[in-house]
């Protein structure tokens, strides 16, 4: 249980991840973002005096930490998805280590599914390590068709069939770059796809990107996204994913 005497600041690499985690976690508290669970980024800020767990991007957390507006005694800084190793994360980790050496009393938690935990532990003077097994789900692998458009259409037809039985779901297609996103959408339209299709890429506004986090329980929806939807993002309605594997 979160105490009223400290706050947890969770830093993640992208706005889309921060918003998705804030929404999911607040739902566990049967609350809205801005209550017990807050969100603070350059694009959006939803927090209150009662917020105890606050999600933000690593860039935003670095900025406020460097200005001395974070990390009071008893606070907890969480750096998630550390295996992505961007510049903001590296500077934030180095800053946190420097503050701890100087005697700061906040706690630091670095999380990753794949990074070499022993190296990170050694960097912090043999800090303790926790190994938490991930939740796994059964996955059915389907053979690809001759083109990515045909493979996507196959998944969309499967979603249509499920919708006829009263169980619609969404389809996520991962494409290599913004240009390919729009090209796939255009080609699927020519192939007769009439369902809603949303492009998702980093040049869209945060509000436009957040479409992939919405729940669509009554219709088949197709998201065509760059790899920003590939890591750390949970789309509640997606049950079928096509990853082109291209970079």
Q: Residue 1: what pLDDT?
A: 54
pLDDT string in tens for the chain (247-residue length): 555 678 899 999 888 888 888 988 988 888 899 999 999 988 888 988 889 999 999 999 999 988 877 778 889 999 998 988 899 999 999 999 999 999 998 999 999 988 899 999 999 999 999 998 877 778 889 888 999 999 999 999 999 999 999 999 999 999 999 999 999 999 999 999 999 999 998 888 877 888 888 888 899 999 999 888 766 677 888 999 998 877 6
CB 158 within 8 A of CB 227: no
Q: Residue 170: what pLDDT?
A: 94
For residues 63 and 54, give the distance between their C-alpha atoms in angstroms, rounded to a whole number: 15
The model's pTM: 0.74
Burial 66-99 (b: 16+ CB within 10 A, else e): eeeebbeeebbbbbbbbebeeebbeebbebbeeb
CB 242 within 8 A of CB 159: no
Where do the H-state alpha helices sit in 106-177?
117-123, 148-164
Beta partners for residue 243, in sequence order: 174
Task: Classify 72 as helix, strand or coil.
Answer: coil
């Amino acid at each position: 249980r979160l105490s009223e005497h400290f706050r947890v600041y969770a830093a993640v690499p992208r706005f889309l991840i921060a918003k998705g985690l804030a929404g999911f976690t607040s739902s566990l508290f049967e609350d809205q973002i801005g209550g017990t669970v807050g969100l603070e980024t350059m694009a959006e800020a939803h927090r209150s005096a009662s917020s105890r767990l606050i999600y933000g991007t690593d860039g935003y957390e670095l900025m406020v930490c460097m200005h001395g507006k974070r990390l009071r005694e008893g606070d907890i800084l969480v750096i998630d998805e550390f295996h992505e190793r961007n510049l903001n994360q590296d500077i934030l980790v180095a800053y946190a280590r420097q503050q701890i050496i100087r005697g700061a009393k906040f706690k630091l938690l670095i999380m990753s599914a794949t990074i070499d935990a022993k190296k990170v532990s050694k960097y912090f003077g043999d800090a303790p390590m926790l190994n938490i097994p991930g939740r796994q789900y059964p996955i059915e692998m389907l053979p690809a068709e001759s083109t990515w458009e045909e493979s996507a259409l196959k998944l969309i037809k499967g979603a249509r069939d499920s919708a006829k039985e009263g169980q619609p779901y969404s389809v996520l297609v991962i494409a290599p770059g913004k240009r390919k996103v729009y090209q796939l959408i255009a080609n699927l339209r020519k192939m007769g796809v009439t369902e809603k299709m949303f492009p998702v890429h980093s040049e869209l506004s945060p509000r436009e990107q957040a479409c992939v986090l919405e729940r669509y329980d009554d219709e088949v929806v197709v998201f065509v996204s760059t790899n920003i939807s590939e890591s750390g993002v949970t789309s509640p309605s997606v049950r079928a994913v096509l990853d082109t594997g291209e970079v």
